[in-house]
Structure 1
Amino acid sequence: MPLTESLPSQPGSAPERAIPGPAGLPVLGSMLDLRRDSLSTFLRAQREHGDVVRLEAGPPGLRSVFHAVFAPEGVQQILASRAANFRKDHPLYEEVRQAFGNGLLTSQDADYLRQRRLVQPLFTKRRVDGYASAVTTEAAGLADRWRTADGGTVDLVPEMNRLALRTVSRILFGLDAEAAVDAIHRCAPVINAYVVRRAYVPVKIPREWPTPGNQRARAATDELNALCDRIVADRRASRETAGDADGAGEDLLSLLAAAGNDEDGSLDATEVREQVLIFLLAGHETTATSLAFTLHLLARHPEEQTRVRDELDRVLGDRTPTAADLDRLPCLTQALKESMRLYPAAPVISRRAVAAAEIGGFRIPAGADVVVAPWVTHRNPELWPDPERFDPRRFDPEPEAARHRYAWFPFGGGPRACIGQHFSMLESVLALAVLLRAYELDAVDEEVPVSAGITLQATGPARVRLRPRAGAGE
Structure 2
Amino acid sequence: MGETHMAITTRTEAPRLTGLPVLGSLLDLKNDSLATFLRARRDHGDVVRISAGPPGARAVVYGVFSAEGAQQVLAGESANFRKDNAFYQEIRESFGNGLLTSQDEDYLRQRRLVQPLFTKRRVDGYAAAVAAEVRTLTAEWDQAGADSVDVLQESTRLALRAVARILFGTDVDTAVDVVERCFPGVGAYVLRRGYSPLKVPRDWPTPGNRRAAALHQALYEVCDRIIADRKAAGRGPGDGDDLLTLLAEAESAEDSSFDATELREQVLVFLLAGHETTATSLGFALHLLARHPDVQRRAHEEVDRVLGGRTPGAADLDALPYVTRVLKETMRLFPAAPVIGRRAVAATEVGGVAIPAGADVVVAPWVTHRHPAYWEDPERFDPDRFTPEAEAARPRYAWFPFGGGPRACIGQHFSMLESVIALAMVLQRHGFEAVDTEVPVSSAITLQVAGPARCRLVPREG
Q: Larger deviation: 115-124 or 139-148?
A: 139-148
Partner of 2:367, secondary structure, is helix
Counterparts in 2 of 1:353 and 1:156: CA distance versus 1, 3 Å: same
Q: Larger deviation: 165-174 or 256-265?
A: 256-265
Among 411, 420, 428, the alignment partner of 2:411 is 420
Aligned to 1:86: 81
| TM-score when normalising by structure 2 | 0.93
Partner of 1:169, secondary structure, is helix
Q: Larger deviation: 164-173 or 339-348?
A: 164-173
AA aligned to 1:405 is R
Whether the 8 Å contact between 1:257 and 1:269 is mirrored in structure 2 is no
Q: For 1:19-168, what aligned pairs fall within 5 Å after superposition?
A: 19-147=14-142, 152-168=147-163
TM-aligned CA deviation for residue 262 of structure 1: 4.3
Q: Say yes or no: does 1:203 pair with 2:194.
A: no
Q: Say yes or no: does 1:359 pair with 2:354.
A: no
Aligned to 1:309: 300
TM-aligned CA deviation for residue 260 of structure 1: 6.0
* Cα deviation code 1:81-132 (max 9, x no counterpart): 1001000011111111111110110001111111111111111112222222
Q: For 1:450-465, what aligned pairs fall within 5 Å after superposition?
A: 450-465=441-456
In 2, the alpha carbon distance for the partners of 1:248 and 1:131 equals 14
| TM-score when normalising by structure 1 | 0.91
Q: Larger deviation: 446-455 or 145-154?
A: 145-154
In 1, the alpha carbon distance for the partners of 2:329 and 2:268 equals 29
Among 194, 217, 239, the alignment partner of 1:222 is 217
Q: Say yes or no: does 1:411 pair with 2:411.
A: no
Q: Which has the higher relative contact order, 1 or 2, with Cα contacts under 8 A spaced 6 or more apart?
A: 2
TM-aligned CA deviation for residue 315 of structure 1: 1.1
Whether the 8 Å contact between 1:129 and 1:426 is mirrored in structure 2 is yes
Question: 5+ residue gaps in structure 1?
Answer: 1-13
* Cα deviation code 1:385-420 (max 9, x no counterpart): 111111111111111122111010000000000001
Whether the 8 Å contact between 2:23 and 2:54 is mirrored in structure 1 is yes
In 1, the alpha carbon distance for the partners of 2:229 and 2:334 equals 38
Q: Say yes or no: does 1:469 pair with 2:455.
A: no
Partner of 2:169, secondary structure, is helix
Q: Say yes or no: does 1:320 pair with 2:320.
A: no
Q: Say yes or no: does 1:188 pair with 2:179.
A: no
AA aligned to 1:466 is L
After superposition, the CA RMSD in angstroms is 1.9
In 2, the alpha carbon distance for the partners of 1:381 and 1:323 equals 35
TM-aligned CA deviation for residue 253 of structure 1: 2.2
Counterparts in 2 of 1:362 and 1:257: CA distance versus 1, 3 Å: same
Counterparts in 2 of 1:126 and 1:56: CA distance versus 1, 3 Å: same
TM-aligned CA deviation for residue 429 of structure 1: 0.7
TM-aligned CA deviation for residue 254 of structure 1: 2.4
* Cα deviation code 1:241-261 (max 9, x no counterpart): x4xx42234443223323466
* Cα deviation code 1:166-215 (max 9, x no counterpart): 22122233344223324323432332222222111111111111222222
TM-aligned CA deviation for residue 151 of structure 1: 6.6
TM-aligned CA deviation for residue 149 of structure 1: 5.7
TM-aligned CA deviation for residue 74 of structure 1: 0.9
Whether the 8 Å contact between 1:83 and 1:414 is mirrored in structure 2 is yes
Aligned to 1:11: none
* Cα deviation code 1:284-343 (max 9, x no counterpart): 222211111111111111111111111111111121111111111100000000000011
TM-aligned CA deviation for residue 34 of structure 1: 1.5
Aligned to 1:338: 329
Whether the 8 Å contact between 1:169 and 1:181 is mirrored in structure 2 is no
Work out the number of aligned pairs and report it. 454
Question: 5+ residue gaps in structure 2?
Answer: 1-8
